[in-house]
Amino acid sequence: MAVVKLSSGYNIGVPPSSCTCIEQSVPAPSRSRVVNKTEGLPDLSIISTGGTIASRIDYRTGSVSSQFDASDILTAIPELAQIANYRTLPLAAILSENMTPVIWQELARAVYTEIKNDAAGIIVTHGTDTMAYSAAAISFMIDTPVPIIFVGSQRSADRPSSDNTMNAVCAAAAATGDLGEVAVVMHATTNDDTCAIHRGTRVRKLHTSRRDAFQSVGLPAIGSVAYPSRAVALTTDAVRRGSHTLALHDNLEPHCALLQFYPGMSPDLIRAYEGYKGLVLSGTGLGHVSTLLIPAITKLIEAETLVVMTSQCMHGRVCDRVYDTGRDLLNAGVIEGGDMLPEVAFVKLMWVLGNVKDKTKAAVMMQTDLKGELNRRSAHGL
């Protein structure tokens, strides 16, 4: 069976007897990072970290592995050359489950350097599984006057249903637009018609394999890119290009953790984080855990660990003033995390504690909106 990709993005199977095979030699992708410049086009930087967008099938194992970098992406997607000139930097070649805070710091420094060297925008190619963590980390570590766009793909480049081409082209269009913040650009629907622009601190991967897996949580997407026209539309909430002065704040406190509560959880799991500087709890509903855990949480806070409460619910905000368990948590010194996503609160806590040593000030910063991660009010229906 031959697989044919339709313009809608879906695939159909065609019997081989109905096909005419034409053999073509395919040149090996270039490893060169030098891209010919076209007069009048903006200069973008592509920093590759790996992931599915930079992966293909390894026929030795039958699995997907990260085997090429940004220069190869440019070779594989010629349409990118119509949008901008590019500098390419291969920072890492990993699947995103292997991302670490140390690599976040290296990435932040690389992005900062590229912007300082007059890049009009940054594209970061990244695996989808932890891309939201990385986008949040860079959001806090860099004040940016230009777009910093994270992009990946759900399906590798050698699959007929791959979303890598459209995602990469839309990311490049967004990187040349009027945006002035960190964002994730991925398919908005299952069709090849629109990519959504998601704020880097309000986005989550909500499906394991769909091409429109990424969704904004707590607010609508801050923009869109039409395909194939590459027209970029931004909402009034999107930060505009030039709104901030470039600055790098790349300190992170590594001794932080994220822990999800579940019924019957043992206090031993709380005690396991003794000596940590910060702990984010992903609690139930309005931000609750079992009353059996409160003594261990109290002891942790008394030992100078900053404990932040978030909710496992997809929408809404923490409010520990409604039920007695919540009030007991507040009395113990737990900090309410508002409507921050748990993973964003975790990254923010690492960043806050890496840059502020005073725990009182750090607690205030955790409840202050810094990069669009906290909404003062929850919109109806979100």
Q: Which two tokens stand for residue 286?
A: 């309005």
Per the residue annotation, which of 52, 144, 176, 305 is the catalytic one? 52
How many residues comprise the chain? 382
Per the residue annotation, which of 69, 129, 212, 320 is the catalytic one? 129
CB atoms within 10 A of CB 47: 26
Cα gap 277→257, rounded to integer Å: 9
333: left (phi over 0), alpha (psi -120 to 50) or beta: left
φ/ψ of 175, rounded to 5, equals -70, -20
Per the residue annotation, which of 176, 201, 205, 325 is the catalytic one? 205
Per the residue annotation, which of 49, 88, 125, 128 is the catalytic one? 128
The reply to whether 129 belongs to the active site is yes
Q: Which two tokens stand for residue 165?
A: 């081409």
Cα gap 44→115, rounded to integer Å: 9
Q: Are 43 and 118 in contact (CB under 8 A)?
A: yes
The reply to whether 128 belongs to the active site is yes
The reply to whether 277 belongs to the active site is no
Longest dimension (CA), the chain: 74
The reply to whether 205 belongs to the active site is yes
Cα gap 275→277, rounded to integer Å: 7
CB burial class (10 A; 0-12, 13-18, 19+) of residue 370? middle
Number of alpha carbons in the 13 Å side-chain half-sphere of residue 344: 32
Cα gap 350→347, rounded to integer Å: 5
Catalogue the active-site residues: 52, 128-129, 205
